[in-house]
């Protein structure tokens, strides 16, 4: 009984931490969008570790 309650609490805390991380990343990108270009964004570096051309695609959704 206590083990299942601890497991549920751990899972809920884990999901809350993931949600807070997503909110923090979105807020950080929103605040620094005007000064940081797309090529210098750490999120794009995390998603695409391989070297990409310096020019972004012309039809980039924003």
Kindly tell me the sign of the dihedral angle through the C-alpha atoms of 39, 40, 43, 45.
positive
Task: Please give the backbone phi and psi of residue 27, each rounded to the nearest 5 degrees, phi first.
Answer: -65, -40
Q: Note the pTM of the prediction, 2 decimals.
A: 0.40
Rounded CA-CA distance 26/7 in Å is 29
Q: Which two tokens stand for residue 16?
A: 């809350």
For tokens 């570790």, the residue is 49
pLDDT digits (tens, 9 = 90+) for 2-60: 778 888 999 999 999 999 999 999 998 888 765 555 555 555 555 555 555 566 666 65
What is residue 5's predicted lDDT score, i.e. its pLDDT? 86
Single out the residue of 43, 38, 40 nearest to residue 58, CA to CA. Answer: 38
């Amino acid at each position: 009984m206590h083990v299942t309650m601890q497991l549920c609490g751990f899972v809920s805390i884990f999901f809350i931490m993931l949600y807070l991380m997503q909110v923090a990343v979105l807020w950080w990108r929103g605040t620094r969008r005007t000064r940081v270009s797309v090529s210098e964004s750490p999120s794009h570096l995390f998603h695409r570790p391989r070297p990409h051309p310096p020019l972004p695609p012309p039809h980039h959704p924003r």
